[in-house]
């Protein structure tokens, strides 16, 4: 919202891309703008991780800057890579008020953490996932603002995290939620979904806390040609299509309408992007 106040190279996307390109080997990175250039969009930079150094030095590689750069081929791991991000603006006055704190002038880090724990419990942030598998570290800033990092350790399945950042000032209020716990897009009777929220429920819980007027969601997921999600309609759908349906069914009853929907396919990954606003 205030790029001119950032330190370089973070004032514009092009400068950030040039900086990252200078770090990685030629043609190792690829930059994308997902969404409307003149509206909500998500900036993405992909690199191809490798355990081996290129045998060819940069001086030996000929590149044509006029040619489009191909996306890097992502090396797949055995575990599914899954990242959900919810970016929210125009938070309601009621939601924003919870993140203004009257801390003492000489408040300690312990005071800020204690206040962070208090607001986490009051707003059920500590219950986004079952509390018995969640270790939450929250911090309340003075005079306003909030940050939380949580580690999730399910009895079965991979461990992961979620992280939240909030700036509540009127006029530029913002909250972000990011999580890498693979969740089912629709609840089933399996043991895993009895302990973890499905995607639809998780989105609703986050939105209920922050009550945004506008939000965008992205799901970045390992691609598997044979993968599918079993939905409530009894049908099987590709994960990104299933995610879009879960987004819509989570937010539609809350009074939101979808303003953008995009699917991307990368080397080894799929991306679902959607924007919503209150009617």
- Cis, bond preceding 9 (omega within 30 deg of 0): yes
| Dist CA 34 CA 18 (whole Å) | 18
Highest mean pLDDT among 35-44, 105-114, 161-170, 265-274: 161-170
Q: Are strands 146-152 and 229-230 parallel, antiparallel or unpaired?
A: unpaired
- E strand or H helix at 76, and its extent? none
The secondary structure of residue 105, as a DSSP letter, is T
User: pLDDT grade, residue 107 (50/70/90)?
Assistant: confident
For the chain, give every domain's residue range. 3-60, 82-278
Strands, E assignment, the chain: 29-35, 41-47, 82-91, 134-140, 146-152, 160-167, 174-179, 212-222, 229-230, 236-237, 256-266, 269-278
Q: In terms of C-beta density within 10 A (0-12 exposed, 13-18 middle, 19 or more buried), how is residue 212 classed?
A: buried
| Dist CA 78 CA 236 (whole Å) | 22
User: What CATH number matches the domain at 82-278, 3.10.580.10, 3.60.90.10, 3.40.50.1220, 3.40.50.720?
Assistant: 3.60.90.10
Residue 71 has pLDDT above 60, yes or no: no
Q: Average pLDDT, whole number, for the chain?
A: 84
Residue 33 has pLDDT above 50, yes or no: yes
Contact 174, 1 (CB under 8 A): yes
Residue 230 has pLDDT above 60, yes or no: no
Residue 124 has pLDDT above 50, yes or no: yes
Strands, E assignment, 107-228: 134-140, 146-152, 160-167, 174-179, 212-222
Give Dmax (Cα) for the chain: 60
Contact 179, 158 (CB under 8 A): no
Q: pTM here?
A: 0.82
- At 215 the three-state DSSP class reads strand
Q: How far apart are the first and last CA of the chain?
A: 23
């Amino acid at each position: 919202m205030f790029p001119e106040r950032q330190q370089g190279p973070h004032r514009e996307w092009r400068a950030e891309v040039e900086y990252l390109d200078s770090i990685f080997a030629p043609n190792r990175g690829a930059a994308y703008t997902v969404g409307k250039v003149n509206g909500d969009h998500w900036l993405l930079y992909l690199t191809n991780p490798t355990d081996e150094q290129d045998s060819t030095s940069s001086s030996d590689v000929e590149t044509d800057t006029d040619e489009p750069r191909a996306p890097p081929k992502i090396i797949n791991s055995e575990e599914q890579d899954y990242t959900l991000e919810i970016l929210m603006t125009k938070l309601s006055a009621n939601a924003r008020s919870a993140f203004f704190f009257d801390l003492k002038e000489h408040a300690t880090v312990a005071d800020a953490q204690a206040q962070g724990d208090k607001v986490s419990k009051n707003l059920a942030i500590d219950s986004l996932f079952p509390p018995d598998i969640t270790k939450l570290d929250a911090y309340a800033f003075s005079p306003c603002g909030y940050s939380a990092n949580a580690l999730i350790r399910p009895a079965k399945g991979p461990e992961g995290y979620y992280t939240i950042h909030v700036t509540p000032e009127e006029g530029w209020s913002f909250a972000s939620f990011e999580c890498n716990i693979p969740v089912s897009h629709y609840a089933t009777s399996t043991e895993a979904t009895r302990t973890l929220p499905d995607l639809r429920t998780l989105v609703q819980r986050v939105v209920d806390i922050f009550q945004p007027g506008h939000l965008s969601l992205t799901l970045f997921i390992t691609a598997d040609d044979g993968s599918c999600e079993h939905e409530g309609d009894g049908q099987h759908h590709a994960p990104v299509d299933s995610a879009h349906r879960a987004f819509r069914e989570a937010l539609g009853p809350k009074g939101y309408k979808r303003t953008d929907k995009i699917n991307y396919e990368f080397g080894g990954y799929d991306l679902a992007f959607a924007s919503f606003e209150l009617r």
